[in-house]
Amino acid sequence: TGRSLWQSEPARTPMPVHTNTGPRVLISDDVVLFAGNTGKMSGWSLKDGRKLWEQKHLPSGHMSLRDLMVVQGLAWTGRIAQSSDNGIFIGYDPISGEKKREFLPDVKVHWFHHRCYPSKAANHYLITGRNGTEFVDLDAEHWKPHHWVRGGCIYGVMPANGILYAPMDACGCQLEAKLPGMKALASGPVPNPEDQQDVPPRLQKGPAYGQVTGPAAASTDWPTFRHDEARSGASSSHVALDLAQAWQTQVGGRLSAPTIAAGKVFAASIDSHTVHALDAATGRTLWAYTTGGRVDSPPTYYRGYVLFSSADGFVYALRASDGALAWRFRAAP
């Protein structure tokens, strides 16, 4: 009918409401759980709106909502916002507000401030984001960190279908320990090295292996990203004051910056995983080579080789004259 059944006393929350100060509201059995970013969490009767209890709501998240999760019949809150926080989790009875369980992390790592999103939960786990993604086993009271898995800002990760989904993210913290891209991860047995005998060698030779020759790049060329290893961004080439377009070629896709050497222009079509070579004088397409992943940086020319890396985990060396594969090296994973 839309008729108002009850109205509680005011449940306080800071105003105005921002991304990181919004309230959390959950319904568990016959209780409405509320946390308004005031350092307090409370339980309210679903039947008549009476306030049943109030407890401390521990700090969590970073520029995101604080955690309030119901797992295994308890309402959980954890002190996990900052690196200095002790990581304690406390579980309260949703009906009475009585403290039922509490435990500290059983692993010692260098904790960072929590990633910029709330935690999630599954049947047996709290899934936090202090460093990356930590599975907190409620049955064993054991923390299992995975520093290399991050979620998207505000959204975080999503456990579903027996899989942990982690969307693309803009996290810039500790980039040396981060798996990029859209991830769908599942648990499984750890491979036995003795069963990996058929894994191809890291260095894979192509048809042009040992058959590459070519001149060194001239001082007026632009053979690598920002011209040279020092990334000087400067060349000794002379440019006329009156410039006119010599040619234009439609390559397609989102392109990297070009490099120029040995009479050729090299560029990557990033999202189509392809490196293109054009004639520097005419713009005519000479060859193209497609890899198994994105190529997001300009290729480098060196004495007849075209060198670049791909998101498929390989470093490639092609013959500049015709694009034939000389070798590729599996650098990751």
* 221 and 177 within one domain: no
* 211 and 144 within one domain: no
* 209 and 179 within one domain: no
* 90 and 170 within one domain: yes
Give the predicted TM-score (pTM) of the model: 0.63
Q: Specify if 5 maps to a domain.
A: no
* 214 and 168 within one domain: no
Residue 34: pLDDT band by 50, 70, 90 thresholds?
A: very high
User: Which pLDDT tens digit goes with each residue over 249-284?
Assistant: 999 999 999 999 999 999 999 999 999 999 999 999
* 38 and 99 within one domain: yes
Backbone angles phi, psi at 175, to 5 degrees: -65, -25
Q: Specify if 270 maps to a domain.
A: yes
* 142 and 49 within one domain: yes
- Cα–Cα distances in angstroms (integers) from residue 94 to residues 79, 87, 102, 177, in the given order: 19, 21, 15, 38
Q: How many CB atoms lie within 10 A of CB 175?
A: 8
Distance of CA 2 to the CA centre of its chain: 44
Q: Specify if 324 maps to a domain.
A: yes
* 302 and 163 within one domain: no
* 113 and 30 within one domain: yes
CB 313 within 8 A of CB 333: yes
User: Which pLDDT tens digit goes with each residue over 172-229?
Assistant: 888 888 898 899 999 887 667 667 667 789 999 999 999 999 999 999 999 999 999 9
Q: What is the number of structural domains in the chain?
A: 2
* 208 and 173 within one domain: no
Q: Specify if 218 maps to a domain.
A: yes
Q: Specify if 235 maps to a domain.
A: no
The CATH number covering residue 293 comes to 2.40.10.480
**In percent, how much of the chain has pLDDT > 90?**
79
User: Which pLDDT tens digit goes with each residue over 283-332?
Assistant: 999 999 999 999 999 999 999 999 999 999 999 999 999 999 999 999 98
The CATH number covering residue 31 comes to 2.40.128.630
Q: 53 is in which domain, residue-wise?
A: 24-185
The DSSP letter of residue 115 is P
